[in-house]
Structure formats: structure tokens, C-alpha cells
Structure 1
Amino acid sequence: MSASAKPERPWFGTAFAVVAALVIFRLALLPLARAEVFVDEAQYWLWGQELAFGYYSKPPMIGWLLRAVTELAGSDSAFWLRAPAVLLHGVTALLLAGLANELADRRTAILVAASYITLPLVAVGSFLISTDTVMFPFLAGALWAWVRVIREQSRGAALLAGALVGLAVMSKYAGLYYVLCAGLAAVFVPGARVRWSDAGLALGALLVVISPNIIWNIQNGLSTLEHTMDNADWVRDPGARARLNWAALGEFAGSQFVVFGPVLLVGLLWSAVKRRSAMLLWFALPILLLVCGQALLSKAYANWAAAAYLAGTIAAVITVRGWGRWAMGASLALGAGFAVVLVLATVFAPVLRLGDGPLLMERYLGRIAMSATIAARAEAEGVTVVVADDRDVLADLFYRIRGRSVAGKIMGLEAYARPERGRPPNHYVQSHAFAGSPGDVLYVSRSAAPPACEGAVALAPIAPGEGAFRRRPQTVWRVPGDCWKEGARP
């Protein structure tokens, strides 16, 4: 370096300031959010109360995390369930920025941090805790470590990369995409190849980390794997279930412009056309293509390809930055605007609607009222056990009522599933199936069909005019505790 050359300024300070500003904004308004604890969040909280190496529909990491956070905080309020999500996204943004600094330059690192923290999927994932959010920092760290393996042939980095992918898989099985992506990158990008010994070390570390969940699944009838196959749907019987669902593919593809942002998604696709950032693209595009295939053959939810947008953010920013400041500015403005609007929407959720239409965030409202109404019905009927068959109802009841003093009583709470459902349809039936009670119980059902037993008394249904249960009213029955004998069908 010549005496007159200026050393490159570090990226971290500026990137941290940008990320911290939005993280602090989200945390500051989180206590004001009126969007109630969602069904998935309540279920993750319950998993944390029943520590295990696996659960009905997901690996265990999110349950462990929420248990740790709520124990340390001494509270399981909505704020403490969601605050970790805000912080985890902040960590992910900085990890991706660090990798961008190595692969490109300081300015790209700062833009990657700003772009990631303002992604629409991150905005949503910062007010609802999800398995994607918990998985992301592990995958971002694994991607950084894998670059170390490629560049330095480091055995330590190989072990770290494998362990981090393992922790990502323990958060969500989508973490396994990175195993496929690393293999494809090695095949098609000579510069992304590693020694066989390093690949073996990484794979070994991955298997060691996820082995407790593999053992748990074997011991529990492959529960989580079965649920994953249920989501994929067509894989159980491709000949009968697989079909070309072009509408579902179009819906999924269109949703990605909202999930990732229109400018960045176009930038990512243009990177593929121009064959830029080749290694990064192999950690993004195969995931998108696989989920597009799933959507075409059956259906796919908008977040199922979320893992693509870690490496994808870096690749997209490198391309969009080349289009000029206006393009990068437009992308950041759209993302930041959506982030602010979404936070404010959660604060004003109980009144936010278009004209005379339903509440815009109605699926996140009305759960507290439903649980309170059910508890009041139980007290009025003088029963101490509530049985329900709707997962949404059960989730909030377990979160708000189970094991707590309600109207001077400790409520028993169990789940019931009709025998024709076959395999347990949810965690509540799997782990908290109703086995009978010596006295009468309050039965809350999504079905209008009466229970198949003598002595069932119909009570007034619960049919809210607004909120999550506006379109799914619940019938209520007082029934004998031995109503559902083995083999009985309602």
C-alpha cells in the first residue's frame, strides 16, 4: 500500500447502526402491538413447556428458545415470545453483511445489512416468532463458514459449517437445503469445490447435531417427518395426487415479489441471467426452483422458499447496486416503508379496516375473547375440564388457561379428534388426548354435529362477529366425561 493510499473504512459500525435503528424501533413498538398471540406462536410456547428433542410438526429449537427466554424474563407475554425474533433478524443481517464484505466490498456489506433488515419477510418475521426466524442466523453463519472452507481448506470451518447447518435443521428441516446447494455449487462452480475430507467433516458434524431429533422421530412414529410429507401432499401417492396446478405456481411465484421485494427479486433473477455471483446463486435458486415445483404439483406457502433469500440478498444487492443509486434507493425505500407500515398495523390492528369490510388483521384478533368466553362457560356450568377439537381454539386455551387460575378454578384442558381422522391431526391430540373424566366436561367443537353419546346438552354457540373466529363459530356442549368411548363416532 502506498503512503498516500487510504485504508478502507470498516463496515461494521455503519451496518450495525442501520440494523440497530430498525431493531430498536420494532422492539419499542412491540409492547404496543394489539395483534394477539397467533396459533403457531402459542403452540411453540407450549412445546417449550414440554422440553423434548422433537415435536409433532417441527424440530425442537424454537420450543427450547422460547422456554429459555420466558424463564429468564419471568414472563410469557406476547412481547417476550416475539422479542427474540427481532434480535435474531438483527444478528442475521450482520452475519450476511460480514460475508458480503468479504465477497464484495464495504458498501455492499452495508447495503446488504440494510436490505435484509427491511425485507418484507423479515418485517413479518419480526412481529411473529417463526421457525424460519430461528433458522436464519444458523444458515447465515453456515454460509460464512463454508466460504472459509472453500477459501482456506479449514477443517475447523468445515466442522463449524456442518454444526451450524445441523442447528438450522434443528430449527426447521428446510436447513437441509444447504446440503443440496453446497453439492450443486461444487458440481457447477469449480471455485466452490472443497476437499472430500472437509465435506465429510461437515456432514459428520451435521449428523451428530441432528441425531437427537432423528432418534426422537424413530421413537415417535416419525411424527415430524409424517407431518412434513403431509405438507408436501403429492409425495405419498404421486400417481393419484400430483397434478399440474398452474394457478398455485402463479400464486406462489407472485407472492415472492411481496416476500422478497420486487426490486431485489428482479435483481436476483437478473443475476442468474448474467451468471453473476455464481456460488451465491447456487445457495438460492435451487431452493426457489424446488418450491416452485412443489407449488406446481400441489401447493406451496409463500414462506417455504425463505431460506433462498439469505445468499439471495447478497447476490441481489450486488446486481441492483450496479443499476445505480435510484434502484438501490427504491428497494430500500419500499422495504423500509413496508416495515414501518406493518409495525403500525399491529398497533392499530383492532380498528384497521378498509371501508365496511372486515378487520385487515382479523386472523390475529379475537383469540383472547374466545378463550375468555370458553372459560366463563365452564365456570357457569360448574365443570372443571374443557375438551376441544379445533387446533386454533386449543392453542390459545393451552397458552392462556391450562394450569392457571381462571375464575377461581384450575381448568383441565384436553384435545379430542374424531376417530376417522386416523393419525393424530395435531400436537394437542398427539400429546394431550382426552381419556375421559369422572364428571361432565365442556366440549367446544368446530363441527355442528352433536357428540355421539347420551346426555349431551347443547349450549349456546360462540359466534363472534369479528376476529379470527368470525368464519369458524364454535358449538358448545355439556357432555358426560365418558362420552367418547373407544370406537364411538360423533
Structure 2
Amino acid sequence: MPTAPEGNDRPYFLWLLYAVAALTVLRLGILAGSGLGLHGDEAQYWSWSRDLEWGYYTKPPLIAFIIAGAQSLCGDTTACIRAPSPLLHAGTALAIYGIAETLTGSRRAGFWSGLSFATLPAVSLSSLLISTDVPLLFLWAIALLAFVRSLKSAAPGWPLLLGLALGAGFLAKYAMAYFILGLVLFTLITPAHRSWLTSRKPLIALVIMLAVFAPNLIWNFESGWVTFTHVKDNTNLKGDLFHFGKMLEFVGSQAGVFGPVLFLALLWRLAVLRRDPAAQTEKLLLSFCLPVLLIISGQSFLSRANANWAATAYVAATVLVVSWLLRRNRLKLVATGIGINLAAAAVLGFFFLDLPGITVPLKNDPLRRLRAWDQIADQLRPVLAAHPDAVWLTEDRKTMASLLYALRDLERRPKMWDYDGHPDHHYELTERYLPQSGETVLLVAKWDTPFPILERFGDVQRLSPVEVATAPDHVRRLSLFLLSAPLKQPPS
């Protein structure tokens, strides 16, 4: 579907650079001005950065390395910890320019594709958080750029870059495996590029990828493949299957991820594929987005799927949809989509600043989970100080992570109660509590009456809880117990 190279004499890349730089500065400013704390998952990633390993129970290690690098430059504030996100998204948008320009021969298509991606609702949201999806999308875009360049060039640098991006992508998130599926699918269905698989290019990429990814594989081998086991368990295919409603919910959520205009345009393009068959370039882009969307939609039908699980599809989908619309002189639709996405981003940024007296006008405020952990920590400090010899115990992963960050100035760390004797997350694997006779335990619990824990101790004293309002109609409350005389070990 080559786009007419109109306007290629214009400085489209420079324009995109200015636009993305402005967005990035604005997002960094919002982070600097926000009073919101870390989400439980963010706090967990931060805690990993204090104990760097080549792997963790639920994720590979790149997110911890990124946070550790950011902290070494600017400290451990929430703004600094999250700063890599808008910077990496800016890099992804520029890489998408290169993908579109390479495939279509049009700098104009590169500009509008890069700008569209930079303003996607999912990008605006994740630019204000630190998550594994952010480096994954960046490395996916770099890998796709290297792959499309390697199709047109014999230079060994592109397969080398492809291998580096793939290996680093696997260190970000194992969803990078979908990229290899798309690569193999495209080369198999495209006779003109089938020889790529038998050339030395994939061998170079494979060797480099395995070399970069090897430390995590070795860590998993030594740890009993716990991360891969978690990924398998996360598919949750053991319960009731076939949830048509959940699949519809997932598909609908993608309009919020990709933006309503581009998502409807993507559905429109897929609907007319039979009447308007995909050209070779479109086949490539479809190979890197459609399998992901179909697999995750199938997962949502069989069990469940979070809205972000298909995020990698939208690197190629952005180029696919924008280029297709431009080819049909639908620039106004592209611009409208960007405008709607920017309006949504402005609203999100305004509420993310968490200005005094301003609350999210929703029944369930999604930002309340980020509020008031510092106040909780201030109430908990004197309790911890009053019981310096007690084992500090928690029983919820996100609560433990949030307290670790909020009380990061303390050397004292909590232990984690393991309910079933099988590690279900990182803290149960590394910080599992093993009762010892004669010790006293200070339990900080998310639940008011955690009987499975209380019944394991002979002496139970309920202390005054700590609580803070996180919204007009919501209070975060942690129950405190002083426990002694453990009766028996937790189940094993």
C-alpha cells in the first residue's frame, strides 16, 4: 500500500521531534507536580531495584534495572522512578516514524503514525506510571524497525540490532514472544521474503537474542522456572471456560487503549480485507498485530485478559491504520483521533496532579490506590518504633510493596505470610515468614480479621488500626495485631 511520497521535502521528522519533545516535557512536569504515590505494582518493581537479580517471580528483570538507573541519576522520588516512562514512549514514537517511513516511503505517514502513537490513551496513561509494558513497547518498535530495514538491506547491523532488541525485550516481558510469531508468520506467507528465514540474518539475530536473554534463562533454571510457571498460571485456564461477556468487555476496552477513532478504523480495515486485500506492507503490519489481538481475545473468552495484554499489537496497528487512512485522504480522521486522545490526556493529567479539593468525578476513583501511603506510613512509624524487636509481618503483596516504598528510609523490612505454602508472588518466594518460638510479631494486615493467621498464635492482641481517607467515600485502613506464642508452622 505504498503511500504517495508527497511532501517528503518537508521536515516531518523534525516536526515530530518537536511535538514528542513537548509532550514528554509536559508529562515529566505532571510527574514532578503530582502528589500521588506509587501503585502497588510500581512499588514492587521499585523494591526489586533495591535487590537486583536476573529475574523475579512474576517478571523478568529489566524494569528493576531501569528504576535502579533512574534512581542513580535523580533519586527515589515518585517523579524520578516514573521518569523513564515518558522518555521511553518518546523513543517508541520516533521508532514508529522510522517503521512507517521505511515501509511506505512517506515521511508524512511517519509523522502522523509517530504522533498518533505518542497520543494514544494507553501511552498517555502509562507515561505517568512505571510498568513493564513501557520498555516492552519501545524494544518491540526497535525490533520491528530493525526487521523491516533488514528486509531491504544486506548490512549486518540490522539483524544485530534485531537480536539486541529481542533479547532485551524478553528481559522486559515474555510477551516479546509474540514478535517472533509475527516475524515467522510474515516470512512464511510472503514468498518474496521467505528467503529471509534461510539467510544468515535470523541466525545473527537469534544468537544475539539468546546471549542477551541468557542470564534470565539461567536464573529461571536455578529458581525452578518460577517465572514461567507464573506466566502459565496467569492464563487461568483451570476454572470455568467460555466467557463471551468477558471477551466483549476486553474488545471494548481496546477502544480505550488505542483510542476510539483508530480502533474503529482498525475494525473497518479488517472488515473490508476481503474486498480490499492487503498489500505486502499491510501483510507485514497485520502479522505483527492481528495474531496478538486474536490470541488475547481468545484468552479473554476462555478465562480473562487485562486490557493492556494486547498493547504490543498497537505498534504495527498504528502504522497500519494511519497509513491506510492517509492513502484514502482521511487525514481529518487521523487528526480528529489525535485531538480526542489529547483531550482525554489533558483530563487525565489534570487529575493526576492531585490538586487539593479536586477529586475524580467517578463512583470508583481509579487514582485512590495511589493516595495517602505517606500518611499511612507516618501513622505506622511510631507503632514500629514501639515494638523494635517484633517481626514486622504483612499478608498482602501490594500492601507490603507500598509500605516498603513509603517507609524506605527504614532498614527494617517486613516478612510475608504464605497462606498455602506455595509461593504465589515475589515476596512469598523471598520474604516468607517462618515462625520461631519466643518471638513477637507485629502484623500489619489489609483485612480486619485475618483468622488464618490469628489462629496460628496463642496470644493475639488487637492494636488501634491506622487509616486515612483516600477519597470522600473511601478510607484505607490497615489492621494491627501483636502476636506471640506461635502454635505451628504455616502450611507447607
Q: 1:301 aligns with which of 306, 313, 321?
A: 306
Residue 479 of structure 1 deviates from its aligned partner by 1.2
Contact 2:186–2:284, Cα closer than 8 Å, also in 1: yes
Q: Which amino acid aligns with 1:139?
A: W
Instruction: Specify the alignment match of 1:86 in structure 2.
Output: 86
2:341 is aligned with 1:335: yes
CA distance, structure 2, for counterparts of residue 8 and residue 181 of structure 1? 33
Q: Residue 479 of structure 2: SS of its match in structure 1?
A: strand
2:366 is aligned with 1:365: no
2:23 is aligned with 1:22: yes
Instruction: Specify the alignment match of 1:173 in structure 2.
Output: 174
CA RMSD of aligned residues (A): 2.5
Instruction: Specify the alignment match of 2:113 in structure 1.
Output: 112
Q: 1:391 aligns with which of 384, 389, 397?
A: 397
Residue 351 of structure 1 deviates from its aligned partner by 4.1
Residue 461 of structure 1 deviates from its aligned partner by 3.3
Moved more, 191-200 or 245-254: 191-200
Instruction: Specify the alignment match of 1:204 in structure 2.
Output: 207
Q: Is the alpha carbon distance of 1:334 and 1:7 closer, same or farther for their aligned partners in structure 2, counting shifts above 3 Å?
A: closer
Contact 1:192–1:279, Cα closer than 8 Å, also in 2: no
Residue 396 of structure 1 deviates from its aligned partner by 1.3
TM-score normalised by the chain length of structure 1: 0.90
Percent identity between the two aligned chains: 31
Instruction: Specify the alignment match of 1:223 in structure 2.
Output: 226
CA distance, structure 2, for counterparts of residue 284 and residue 350 of structure 1? 42
Contact 2:372–2:469, Cα closer than 8 Å, also in 1: no
CA distance, structure 2, for counterparts of residue 24 and residue 488 of structure 1? 51
CA distance, structure 2, for counterparts of residue 323 and residue 359 of structure 1? 40
Contact 1:457–1:479, Cα closer than 8 Å, also in 2: yes
Moved more, 332-341 or 157-166: 157-166
Residue 458 of structure 1 deviates from its aligned partner by 1.4
Q: Which amino acid aligns with 2:265?
A: G
Q: Is the alpha carbon distance of 1:122 and 1:401 closer, same or farther for their aligned partners in structure 2, counting shifts above 3 Å?
A: same
CA distance, structure 2, for counterparts of residue 360 and residue 349 of structure 1? 15
Q: 1:460 aligns with which of 439, 464, 475?
A: 464
Q: Residue 455 of structure 1: SS of its match in structure 2?
A: strand
CA distance, structure 2, for counterparts of residue 469 and residue 43 of structure 1? 27
CA distance, structure 1, for counterparts of residue 442 and residue 463 of structure 2? 10
Q: Is the alpha carbon distance of 1:81 and 1:484 closer, same or farther for their aligned partners in structure 2, counting shifts above 3 Å?
A: farther
Q: Deviations over 1:461-489 (max 9, x none)?
A: 34544359947743311012x63642469
Counterparts in 2 of 1:318-329, with a 5 A limit?
318-321=323-326, 322-329=328-335
2:427 is aligned with 1:428: yes
Instruction: Specify the alignment match of 2:443 in structure 1.
Output: 443
Structure 2 unaligned residues grouped into runs of 5+: 1-5
Residue 380 of structure 1 deviates from its aligned partner by 4.1
CA distance, structure 2, for counterparts of residue 209 and residue 261 of structure 1? 34
Q: Is the alpha carbon distance of 1:172 and 1:294 closer, same or farther for their aligned partners in structure 2, counting shifts above 3 Å?
A: same
Residue 349 of structure 1 deviates from its aligned partner by 6.2
2:283 is aligned with 1:268: no
Structure 1 unaligned residues grouped into runs of 5+: none
Q: Which amino acid aligns with 2:394?
A: A
CA distance, structure 2, for counterparts of residue 430 and residue 370 of structure 1? 26
Q: Which amino acid aligns with 1:118?
A: T
Instruction: Specify the alignment match of 2:3 in structure 1.
Output: none
Moved more, 198-207 or 375-384: 375-384
CA distance, structure 2, for counterparts of residue 435 and residue 196 of structure 1? 55
Residue 393 of structure 1 deviates from its aligned partner by 1.4
Q: Is the alpha carbon distance of 1:205 and 1:290 closer, same or farther for their aligned partners in structure 2, counting shifts above 3 Å?
A: same
CA distance, structure 2, for counterparts of residue 319 and residue 351 of structure 1? 45
* Number of corresponding residues: 471
CA distance, structure 2, for counterparts of residue 369 and residue 230 of structure 1? 35
Contact 1:142–1:161, Cα closer than 8 Å, also in 2: yes
Contact 2:44–2:398, Cα closer than 8 Å, also in 1: no
Residue 385 of structure 1 deviates from its aligned partner by 3.6
TM-score normalised by the chain length of structure 2: 0.89
CA distance, structure 2, for counterparts of residue 305 and residue 338 of structure 1? 21
Instruction: Specify the alignment match of 1:286 in structure 2.
Output: 291
CA distance, structure 1, for counterparts of residue 228 and residue 160 of structure 2? 26
Instruction: Specify the alignment match of 2:59 in structure 1.
Output: 58
Residue 243 of structure 1 deviates from its aligned partner by 1.1
Residue 153 of structure 1 deviates from its aligned partner by 4.0
Moved more, 431-440 or 448-457: 431-440
Q: 2:380 aligns with which of 374, 382, 385?
A: 374
Q: Is the alpha carbon distance of 1:31 and 1:269 closer, same or farther for their aligned partners in structure 2, counting shifts above 3 Å?
A: same
Q: Is the alpha carbon distance of 1:130 and 1:354 closer, same or farther for their aligned partners in structure 2, counting shifts above 3 Å?
A: closer
Q: Residue 470 of structure 2: SS of its match in structure 1?
A: coil
Q: Which amino acid aligns with 2:94?
A: L
Residue 40 of structure 1 deviates from its aligned partner by 1.0
Q: Is the alpha carbon distance of 1:459 and 1:188 closer, same or farther for their aligned partners in structure 2, counting shifts above 3 Å?
A: same
Residue 96 of structure 1 deviates from its aligned partner by 0.6
Instruction: Specify the alignment match of 2:100 in structure 1.
Output: 100
Q: Is the alpha carbon distance of 1:95 and 1:484 closer, same or farther for their aligned partners in structure 2, counting shifts above 3 Å?
A: farther
